[in-house]
Amino acid sequence: MANWVPLWLHRLSSPPVFYRFAGAVRPWALGLALLLGGVALYGGLFVAPADYQQGDAYRIIFIHVPSAWMSLFIYGAMAIAAFIGLVWRIKLAETVAMESAPVGAAFTLITLVTGSLWGKPMWGTWWTWDARLTSELVLLFIYLGIVGLYHSFEDRRQGARAASFLVLVGAVNVPIVHFSVNWWNTLHQGSTVRLLGPSHIDASMLWPLLTMMAATKLYYVASLFARVRADFIVAESGKGWVRDLALNTPGNDAA
Amino acid sequence: MTPGSTPAACAALLRRDLTLAWRRRGDIAMPVLYAVIVATLFPFALGPEPALLARIAGGVVLVTVVLAILLSLDNLFRGDIEDGSMELLMLAPQPLALLVGVKILAHWIVSSLPLIVVAPLLASMLKLPAPAMPVLVATLALATPLLCLLGAILVALTAESRRSGMLLALMLLPLCVPVVIFAAGAVAAAQDGLPWVAPVAWLGAGLVLALVLAPLACAAALRIAMDS
């Protein structure tokens, strides 16, 4: 087998190469995310039938559930990147971990806000101290702690390493959030979509949900790549490739 | 103990930290004073009705103790980093995790033992029923070292950063949530005459896990923070 895959990955971890790669991928990811998101919203808001029990109010799941998935998925991705960054000291992995945190925090906030908007008509309350809700709130605090720790250091890479360590320490919370619905039977409903086995949800409601899930993943990629590009420009501002980038005419830059 | 051996080094470090704390006895009283003041604010804020106070006494004492520990944690490594003895500890032939563990033990003795002693007094001020009192002390005896160990990791991470006080609270809160849940659950169960062994056992399990892992994590975090 050819060893071009590790070679390509190795080259990709260099900031100028990744900058160009991310610049090429980002518009496609963002465009596809908007397209799929639009299709999913149309499917969820107009095509899917009203729920027999919750009426039209259930439609907020097309925002709420994909955001909740992303809040955990991004933490997982961030933890893997943080581990790689701490062990092999790859600058790209550290940057990816640190720039994932604000995106993850945003999705967690969306989950909490849409959840409380949904909770008011369904449960009659904006907020309750339910295990799922509380652990999601704690997840938001973890994200904010990571962002705060990263920015409290003078030296960016030192801050990235310290915050990466906090990512790994805080990872104990992720399984608690994930399983909280099964472990504590409180107000929040159990999971209805299964990876293995049949889902407890009608196909007409499932496809917009899964499409929105793909859209949020792509949006994460687009947002992350934009953030990483900006971060590299700041971190490498003394390097030659950034100077070339800045001095070139806009139509001729590396992106 | 032969001088220079690992047990001798740990004993010397423990003696040094305790001596340093004893020379500044006023600082030891601070967390206790803080806990007393915060706990007395609750009857003023909520009204002096005994039934209500008895209902919340366990939780109030726990939260007060968590806050007092949070405040005291800030100077766990600060003095050592400022005067350079942390570098010497890192260069010592003994494993850093062990020495850090000894430092955390010294900090627990100085900051948390007085809190455990004063906790029954606070709880009785808040009209906690007598049968729940031993359970409160038992949960505190398990929860305070657990909080010190978890907090020490975060203090080590923020050791070299510019602003750490508020940040420490933000980072410690997610980690201390399970501790508070189990500790308060045990006290509430004892208050209602229900079995309270299970949450205390969970606290014990958490403490054992933290005793093994936290000093290692703390040492790694210190190495990251002191890298530059």
Compute the nearest-CA separation of A166 from chain B (Å): 8
Compute the nearest-CA separation of A89 from chain B (Å): 12
Q: What angle do CA B111, B117, B121 make, to 5 degrees?
A: 125
Contacts of B162 in chain A (CB under 8 A): 152-154
Chain A residues whose C-beta sits inside 8 Å of any chain B C-beta: 134, 138-139, 141-142, 144-145, 148-149, 152-155, 158-159, 161-163, 165-166, 169-170, 172-173, 176
Q: What angle do CA A61, A63, A64 make, to 5 degrees?
A: 60
Distance between CA atoms of residues B161 and B150, nearest Å = 18
pLDDT of B195 higher than 70: yes
Distance between CA atoms of residues A33 and B11, nearest Å = 61
CB A206 within 8 A of CB A61: no
**Dihedral sign for Cα atoms in the order A132, A133, A134, A138:** positive
CB contact under 8 A, A166 and B171: yes
Output the tens digit of pLDDT for each of chain A's 255 residues: 578 888 888 888 888 899 999 999 999 999 999 999 999 999 888 887 777 677 777 788 889 989 999 999 999 999 999 999 999 888 899 999 999 999 999 999 999 999 888 888 877 778 877 777 888 888 899 999 999 999 888 888 888 999 999 999 888 777 766 666 555 555 566 666 555 555 667 777 788 889 999 999 999 999 999 999 999 998 888 888 888 888 875 544 444
Q: What is the pLDDT of residue B216?
A: 94
CB A228 within 8 A of CB A18: yes
Nearest to A158 among B170, B220, B227 (CB): B227
Nearest to B225 among A162, A169, A172 (CB): A162
